[in-house]
Amino acid sequence: MTVSDHGARHVAIIMDGNGRWAKKRLLPRVAGHKAGVEAVRTIVRAAGDLGLEAMTLYAFSSENWKRPEEEVNDLMGLMKRFILSDLDEFAANDVKLKVIGDWRALAPDVVALIDNALDRTSGNKRTTLAVALNYGAQDELVRAAKAAAAQGEITAETIEANLDTADMPPLDLLIRTSGEVRLSNFLLWQSAYAELYFTDKLWPDFTPADLKAALDQFARRDRRYGGL
């Protein structure tokens, strides 16, 4: 499948269900998060093969700090290992890494790792992988509105120009796994005319075949953008 087959350029995913996946198997939550990282690797590899120019993954929301400290530490540790272990693969597969959200408020060692990864992949062009870290869409909109006001008039165009995703293609399809059917403060502005796709699959069980099925359904939808 190429972009001409399904028409999508930018897909975003709310990767939900790691904890429930682990609970079903009587495993600790961190095991679910580890399985979720493996799913990320598989789906990112598939994104380029399926002709996607960009993919945005909801990795850690600004609300996730409310989780138990041990789980937050596990998530940060997994993220660091993911960046370190996959950076060479990103480079080899022409994947450009982008991070959205208030990620510079994270721990200094995490920020340093991200800065290095962004620098190493900045020239890559096949697929952009945007990872939402310490991200909340309401916070993004506040930041974008403040930036627009500082530059002059606040309009839909100036807000959009100051979003974290301003240099990415418009969002076409937003997928949420695990059976939940809400946006959870993710890409609220960008989702205004995006197609939404919900699946009962838990994130660690989400495969390239599932991504292709979502894209196949997207291709059959009639996007009217408020028109007839």
Task: Give the catalytic positions in this structure.
Answer: 16, 64
For residue 64, give Cα distances in angstroms to 16, 39, 162, 200: 12, 20, 24, 22
Tokens at 133, concatenated: 């870290």
